[in-house]
Structure 1
């Protein structure tokens, strides 16, 4: 079994076990649901390397969070999301500005997050999120311009290649602030996703040995309490 598969499985198991193992401290049963939305800055880690700049995409969906306890000053819980997310890459060659290629890839993503927060029950809190994430490829589109056949030394194998692996997985984490009010909870967060899987086949006979997403996300979330 590959090392990245072992890491992904261990993180998933650890996050899912969080609510069951956190049985010390002041018990709470706070269930909240809501919506989230934001922007992705995408790139792809290719080997051999493909020159690129960050590609902007949208990210948004549903959020559910359960706070299980407060241990001293730390608030502990778990969060899960169901999001539509745009990934991909935008190729950039400074010496050849006439060459342009952009690939947009759509996914349904499910992050499983440990939620650790510090602050007041009513007011401002600082929080950290970390855990595994899985995704399911929906489809893609691309735009291309320029006569790529007239240039040598530029990798183009990725242009006409279809996605081989439609299941994506990796680790994600971030931090942010939450404002807790009577009208609901408002969260602003920055997050990074590092894919452990490749969307192109990466056997010895394949051209790419690495083709994995890297995503910086800025998002806003609104949650309202179903149970306090």
Structure 2
């Protein structure tokens, strides 16, 4: 009889421990949700001069998004996005043209969700310049001037995101602001106009992008 009790205990005890661990894992583990996001960019550069004023440029973004709500209300999210942005400029009061840059960005951020339907996030943003084009005046002339720009861009991002199960479980919409911390033009003090179809700024310039987006995470 004693042997039977010990045998039953050795069988049941591991099962009870496994069940408790499984229940705890079910309660605490949060799956990583991966999806797609896309949106509208309102961009410019962060500096100007009286002889070189800046206008906003309308672009777009598209990419993949991941969210891991790992510690209750706190989590980690990151996007890998293609971003088309730029600015228009007026030199000496004349509308001269615009510049369009295309970047691939990685955006690791901390996420805080105080309520089930909204979260706030902030973090770093790292980018690689794919291409820089310019348009001059009212003509359709396009020119690639990528070699005049720094290949890497980095800065800070932050924003707010909303979810709506009324639309679909996994649907998200939000807005995010990116402030670049690196100059986009390489050697602005040495920029010459001999081989350029537009005038590049000879002062320190950084990217500034307001992004409005929607997406879906599975």
CA contact (8 A) 2:160 2:175 kept: yes
Q: 1:101/1:83 Cα in 2 relative to 1: closer, same or farther (>3 Å)? A: same
CA contact (8 A) 1:29 1:68 kept: yes
Counterpart position of 1:219 = 213
Counterpart position of 1:90 = 88
Counterpart position of 2:23 = none
Q: Can you list the C-alpha shifts for 1:76-95, whole angstroms capped at 9, x where unaligned? A: 11011110001211114795
> Does residue 201 in structure 1 map to residue 203 in structure 2?
no
Stretches of structure 1 lacking an aligned partner (at least 5 in a row): 1-25, 147-158
Q: Can you list the C-alpha shifts for 1:163-216, whole angstroms capped at 9, x where unaligned? A: 331100000000131124795311111111000011223577677341110000
Query: Aligned partners of 2:115 and 2:47: how far apart in 1?
Result: 41
Give the structure with higher Rg (CA).
2
Query: Aligned partners of 1:132 and 1:109: how far apart in 2?
Result: 10
Counterpart position of 1:80 = 78
Per-residue deviation at 1:160?
6.8
Query: Aligned partners of 1:202 and 1:137: how far apart in 2?
Result: 16
- 2:39 alignment partner, SS class: strand
Query: Aligned partners of 1:45 and 1:200: how far apart in 2?
Result: 13
> Does residue 136 in structure 1 map to residue 128 in structure 2?
yes
Per-residue deviation at 1:101?
0.3
Counterpart position of 1:46 = 47
- 2:86 alignment partner, SS class: strand
Q: Which has the higher strand share?
A: 1
Within a 5 Å distance, the mapping from 1:1-228 to structure 2 comes to 27-46=28-47, 48=49, 50-70=52-72, 75-92=73-90, 95-96=93-94, 99-120=95-116, 125-145=117-137, 162-180=147-165, 184-202=169-187, 208-224=202-218
Stretches of structure 2 lacking an aligned partner (at least 5 in a row): 1-26, 139-143, 192-200
**RMSD (Å), alpha carbons:** 2.8
CA contact (8 A) 1:47 1:208 kept: no
Q: 1:77/1:160 Cα in 2 relative to 1: closer, same or farther (>3 Å)? A: closer
Q: Which has the higher helix share?
A: 2
Q: Is 202-211 or 32-41 further displaced after alignment? A: 202-211
Query: Aligned partners of 1:195 and 1:138: how far apart in 2?
Result: 16
Which structure has more RCO (C-alpha within 8 Å, separation ≥ 6)? 1
What TM-score, normalized by structure 2, do the two folds share? 0.72
